[in-house]
């Protein structure tokens, strides 16, 4: 899977989220949840990496079929949304 986004990790500096080389990813405008939203955005590359790994390595022998199907569907949706597919 090819990532079409600025490589992580991303870091929060004040109201800006920057890449590891200092490129501006986004700037948050002040609002009630700005800090929490910024933390979540900054975690995006690692979250995407984690869900791709989970999707690719989900242990089908320990999950019930219904739970496995739901997990795979949720992971697939999140990966598609994060990668713009």
pLDDT digits (tens, 9 = 90+) for 47-71: 888 888 887 777 655 667 777 778 7
Residue 1 lies in a domain: no
d(CA 36, CA 47): 15
CB-based contacts of 34, cutoff 8 Å, min separation 6 = 15, 28
Show the domain range for 25. Answer: 7-42
Q: Hey, CA dihedral for 3, 20, 27, 76, is it positive or negative? A: positive
Task: Give the number of other Cβ atoms within 10 Å of residue 8's Cβ.
Answer: 18
- Residue 2 in any domain: the answer is no
The count of structural domains within the chain is 2
Alpha-carbon gap, residue 18 to 21, rounded angstroms: 8
Q: Are both 34 and 64 inside the same structural domain?
A: no
Structure tokens at 81: 């949304």
**27 and 52 fall within a common domain:** no
pLDDT digits (tens, 9 = 90+) for 70-79: 878 888 887 7
């Amino acid at each position: 899977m090819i990532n079409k986004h600025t490589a992580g990790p991303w870091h929060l500096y004040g109201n800006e989220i920057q890449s590891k080389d200092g490129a501006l990813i986004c700037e948050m405008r002040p609002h009630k949840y700005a800090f929490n939203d910024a933390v979540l955005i900054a975690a995006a590359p690692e979250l995407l990496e984690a869900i791709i790994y989970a999707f690719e390595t989900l242990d089908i022998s320990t999950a019930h079929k219904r739970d496995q199907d739901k997990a795979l569907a949720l992971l697939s949706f999140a990966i598609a949304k994060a990668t713009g597919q």
